[in-house]
Structure 1
Amino acid sequence: MWRRKKTEKTNQSETNIFPLKVDALEKFFKEKFNYHDDLKFTKYTVNKKKVAVFYIDYLIEGNKLGQIIEPLVDLNPEIDLTNKNLLNELPYSSGTSTNTIEDIHKKLIIGFVFIYIEMEKAVLAYPFSMKETRSVEKAETESLVLGSKIAFSESILINMNVIRWQINSTDLVFEKFTVGTQAPREVRIVYMKSIANEDDVNTMRQRIQELDVDQIEGTIVLKQYLEDSQMNLFPQFDETELPDRLAYNVTRGKIGVLVDGSPTSFTAPATLFSFLESTEDLYMRWQAGSFLRILRFLAMIFSILVTPTYVAAATYQYAIIPSQLLISIGQSRAAVPFPPIFEALLLEFLIELLREAGARLPTKVGQTMGIVGGIVIGQAAVEAGLTSNILIIVVAMSALSSFTTPSYLFGTTIRLIRFPLIILAGLLGLAGIVFGLCWLIIHVLRLTSLGRPYLVPIYPLRLADFNKVFFRTPFSFVSKRAKSYRPKDLLRFNKKDAKQKRDIDE
């Protein structure tokens, strides 16, 4: 189990071995731990006392090290060399005292420098860690025409700074956690204290605190640990690499999560329709923003149903096809020896191969592979009699529709749903599609995100939230936050005051 109550550890590494000689301390560290080849252990004599400075070389900033060594060796000879006096004399206020080997070990491997005065009961620790990170760059997986283009980086400090740019409010909270027993990582939950629902904050906090794993590889991995159900196909938290998307969700009452070393974040609770929203909709006129949201919703349905419907119609339900189109389909499939279900699965498989190959190859080569590969393989498949022209058009339209989804993970879900529906359509016709859709709807109705219904505002019905999900209205009409997330403060502004338009001379 990855969620379990943590037990207290009582082993030798947590014991206090101080005071002891400097030579004995060096021998202890190099025998006890696995990083003895990388441990730099330097000894000095200051004011007639032996002093040891030890650290792992490649984890610290070298320029800061010299700024602490020089004041140490040039210390006033009249000063009694103790931990308390040395903390006051060195030009860094971030120094702390620690006396357990477990704490020293944890800090040593994240870039702390330690100073030990012989026969003292503790060591002094200074955070001089060096982290290699990217600067703030343009988003790659979530492309925008309008709005902020910057993306998260691997540094959680930079990410928190960028979010502060977006939300300049004293109400913003960054709550800190550490996850991982073997390779700990810093995790932050982000929320607006006066807006976010307290139950949601407590639920997220509890799930993170109860998480007992050796390590997490990144934000998306942590998201899978924290989701309400790990056995279903649909993502239950909304992931993003855009700080402005995270800021938009947080100011609406959701909870964001950041992980150190990961250039993405996620927000919760989420709904099925959250994955079809884009912050770009806010920067357009409300008519254009509404059109794009409706277009994405229809594209999702089209992507799921168009290929299975073709397979069902071409296999069983010929009567639903117009006569002229039926003739064209018959002529196109005259040379194809395979049934429509095999034909459709083959083309869908080829499309997925091209998509995956294009994503894994270098950018310029990948684009060429996607375009040229699709044209060449499609034309060759038709000439070889493996498939028909009409099915190539149908599958291509289905693939294009799946690309309209702003969320990459949700787009992957849509692609995977098509395959079982195609199989059901080939076996049972339209009845198989209806059976598959009924099962899918029942499954989605049972899903929750952080304990909230996944299909809200459709189920349970929240008509007041429709203009925040399916379409947009002018900003002056959206005076309240979505009731679906049950924020503490529902009101965004006073609607009556917003409608009052005054000239400068009034």
Structure 2
Amino acid sequence: MRRKKSTKTTTQTSSSFPCTIEEFKETIKTALHHNPDLHLQDFTIANRRVLITYFTYQINKDQLNSMILRTLLNSQKPWDHNRIMNEIPIGTGENQSDSNKIAEILCKGHCCLYVEGDEEAVTFLIPELKSRQVGAAENESLVFGPQIAFNESLVTNLNIVRWGIDSPDLKMEKLTVGKMISTEVRVIYLDNLANKENVNTIRQRIEDLEVDDAMDANVLGQLIEDKSSSIFPQLLTTELPDRFLYAIKKGKVGIMVDKSPNVLIGPTSLFSFFESTEDIYMRWNMGTFIRILRLFAMMISITLTPAYVAALTYHYEVVPSSLLVSLGKSRANVPFPPVLEALLLELLIELLREAGARLPTKVGQTMGIVGGVVIGQAAVKAGFTSNILIIVIALSALASFTAPSYLMGTAIRVIRFPMILLSGLWGLLGIMYGLSFLIIHLLKLTSLGRPFLVPLYPLTLVDLRSSIFRLPWPWASRRPYSNEPQEIKRFSRAKALEKKDIDE
């Protein structure tokens, strides 16, 4: 959370240049609390002492030996910071005159060269980057489209984005978050397309943060979103480069955080969480059907179990008589009221899901299947629940898993619990109370100051074709108005609809 500025607990020791090698060593050691991994070695070249210092496990040893040490030791002329900058063949060199700054960047993969008696030191960024290879997405699987996913390396992720959008208009603004542990953040957008107000809002909120560190993109999203107390995420999180690039091309703004495999997209709407780039790769009618199916599944997941509880508690008259007999037989030996029975089963499903997610992959899959079947059958035979409720709970759980966004699917599952309680207290009237409160909350919610329910509120009929529906490509000649991009037109629809034979 945001908090007032506090004084750092690290020791602030400042050295004045020029100084001796011994003085510089003591200053750096004190600033880094005498870290045992700090390497300090000095050489005498042309009667002048040169000190090199770095963390042994954070720099690339090949670059250090071949580009820095070899160049230094093969020269018989005296060195100074100007000659180091001009003759050592690394383009990441920077002159430094503050020992505290030097100590800070040594922790980020820099090495430092200081010539005794010189007015400035020189630092080079030569990090030893350790990250997993680019692979398939684990949380957002696709049938069609690119199968690669972002990883924890910011350099790799930026390369993927630049490879996907090789345009000079692509801007990647560099920001830093964290008072105690600074983390690099990139704000990414198309300069000729993204709305400047959205860009300025994101930049201002990130720059105004006063936190110790930003651990992950999801944490940063909670810090800068409009209403962090809401159960609904207001910034879209994804690990898929194609989804990220597609959003950037629509005029949205992306956020990358170093050491995080997830990226943020904003502004976003509720319907964006039920879209997938797979809908774009499919035929338009298939994509439209699947999008509508996901939205329908969301309503089923929220209301099906509460409707069952309300019907059996207060409204037997809404149940067909033929089904009422089956319900009576199924619940004949159940000692609990419907609301408690439903809550117990919902809790059981969540326990199985969480256990399966935390166990190793092969064991987790077996646990989910075997645990669901065995416990479900045992619960029915023991008279703790009915067969029909197990079917209802299973349908609700399956419906919540259709959301492409894991965060949105989790939010839907959590919403079911208060809805079940309201239906148990007041029946269908309680469900209406719950849905009304939910709609009012969504109407008040915003994403970077933009309405969260767009294009339904405010009503923008032309944007329905790109959110709820997926029209054929020739009809998708304009970008969504709700993003307020600088350029609405994608291409000429008249030329896209024009058909020509090869001899024309």
TM-score in same-fold range (> 0.5): yes
Q: Distance in 1 between matches of 2:496 and 2:381?
A: 64
Shift of 1:2: 1.0
Correspondent of 2:501 among 490, 500, 503: 503
Correspondent of 2:277 among 276, 279, 290: 279
CA 1:283–1:120: 2 relative to 1, 3 Å: same
Partner of 1:270: 268
Partner of 1:44: 43
1:200-220: per-residue Cα shift (whole Å, max 9, x none)? 111011001111111011100
Please say if 1:237 is aligned against 2:240. Answer: no
Give the counterpart letter for 2:2 in structure 1. W
Paired residues of 1:30 and 1:36 also in contact (CA < 8 A): yes
Partner of 2:84: 86
Paired residues of 1:3 and 1:210 also in contact (CA < 8 A): no
Partner of 1:72: 72
Paired residues of 1:55 and 1:113 also in contact (CA < 8 A): yes
Q: Distance in 1 between matches of 2:380 and 2:432?
A: 30
CA 1:394–1:35: 2 relative to 1, 3 Å: farther
Uncovered stretches (5+) of structure 2, i.e. residues with no partner: none
Give the counterpart letter for 1:425 in structure 2. S
Paired residues of 1:29 and 1:36 also in contact (CA < 8 A): no
Partner of 1:382: 380
Paired residues of 2:13 and 2:27 also in contact (CA < 8 A): no
CA 1:390–1:194: 2 relative to 1, 3 Å: same
Partner of 2:195: 197
1:393-436: per-residue Cα shift (whole Å, max 9, x none)? 00000000001000000000000000001001011110100111
1:101-130: per-residue Cα shift (whole Å, max 9, x none)? 121011111111111111111111111111
Paired residues of 2:133 and 2:151 also in contact (CA < 8 A): yes
Please say if 1:221 is aligned against 2:219. Answer: yes
Please say if 1:362 is aligned against 2:336. Answer: no
1:359-413: per-residue Cα shift (whole Å, max 9, x none)? 0000011000111100000000001100000000000000000010000000000
Partner of 1:106: 104
CA 1:142–1:312: 2 relative to 1, 3 Å: same
Give the counterpart letter for 1:45 in structure 2. T
CA 1:210–1:3: 2 relative to 1, 3 Å: farther
Q: Distance in 2 between matches of 1:372 and 1:504?
A: 59
SS at match of 2:57: helix
Partner of 1:28: 27
Shift of 1:503: 1.6
Paired residues of 1:300 and 1:402 also in contact (CA < 8 A): yes
Correspondent of 1:165 among 163, 166, 177: 163
Correspondent of 1:450 among 448, 471, 474: 448
Would you say how many aligned residue pairs link Structure 1 and Structure 2?
502
1:115-160: per-residue Cα shift (whole Å, max 9, x none)? 1111111111111111211111000100100011100011111111
After TM superposition, the score normalised by the length of structure 2 is 0.97
1:297-325: per-residue Cα shift (whole Å, max 9, x none)? 00000000000000000001000000010
Q: Distance in 2 between matches of 1:89 and 1:176?
A: 28
Partner of 1:311: 309
Shift of 1:90: 2.2
SS at match of 1:104: helix
Give the counterpart letter for 1:43 in structure 2. D
Shift of 1:81: 2.7
SS at match of 2:303: helix
CA 1:91–1:167: 2 relative to 1, 3 Å: closer
1:442-472: per-residue Cα shift (whole Å, max 9, x none)? 1110000000000011110001111111111
Shift of 1:36: 3.0
Shift of 1:502: 1.3
Q: Quick check: 201-210 or 31-40, which moved more?
A: 31-40
Uncovered stretches (5+) of structure 1, i.e. residues with no partner: none
CA 1:397–1:93: 2 relative to 1, 3 Å: closer
Partner of 1:19: 18
CA 1:440–1:73: 2 relative to 1, 3 Å: same
Q: How does 1:289-300 map to 2 (within 5 A)?
A: 289-300=287-298
SS at match of 1:239: strand
Paired residues of 2:31 and 2:103 also in contact (CA < 8 A): no
After TM superposition, the score normalised by the length of structure 1 is 0.97
Give the counterpart letter for 1:127 in structure 2. L
Q: Distance in 1 between matches of 2:376 and 2:493?
A: 56
Q: Distance in 2 between matches of 1:37 and 1:285?
A: 60
Q: Distance in 2 between matches of 1:268 and 1:281?
A: 20
CA 1:196–1:86: 2 relative to 1, 3 Å: closer
Paired residues of 1:481 and 1:490 also in contact (CA < 8 A): yes
Give the counterpart letter for 1:73 in structure 2. L
Give the counterpart letter for 1:56 in structure 2. F
Please say if 1:465 is aligned against 2:463. Answer: yes
Paired residues of 2:13 and 2:31 also in contact (CA < 8 A): no
CA 1:7–1:394: 2 relative to 1, 3 Å: closer
Shift of 1:3: 6.0
Shift of 1:262: 0.4
Q: Distance in 2 between matches of 1:23 and 1:205?
A: 42
Give the counterpart letter for 1:21 in structure 2. T
SS at match of 1:263: coil
Q: CA RMSD in A?
A: 1.5
Paired residues of 2:478 and 2:488 also in contact (CA < 8 A): yes
Partner of 2:339: 341
Identity between Structure 1 and Structure 2 (%)? 50
Q: Distance in 2 between matches of 1:53 and 1:148?
A: 45
Q: Distance in 2 between matches of 1:405 and 1:441?
A: 19
Q: Distance in 2 between matches of 1:24 and 1:262?
A: 38
Paired residues of 2:303 and 2:416 also in contact (CA < 8 A): yes
Give the counterpart letter for 1:283 in structure 2. Y
Q: Distance in 2 between matches of 1:56 and 1:423?
A: 57
Q: Distance in 2 between matches of 1:101 and 1:477?
A: 60
Paired residues of 1:13 and 1:101 also in contact (CA < 8 A): no
Q: Distance in 2 between matches of 1:88 and 1:248?
A: 42
CA 1:30–1:7: 2 relative to 1, 3 Å: closer
Structure 1 stretches of 4+ moved >3 Å: 6-9, 11-16
Q: Quick check: 83-92 or 461-470, which moved more?
A: 83-92
Correspondent of 1:253 among 251, 254, 264: 251
Give the counterpart letter for 1:2 in structure 2. R
Paired residues of 1:112 and 1:129 also in contact (CA < 8 A): yes
Q: Distance in 2 between matches of 1:446 and 1:312?
A: 28
Shift of 1:94: 2.6
SS at match of 1:175: strand
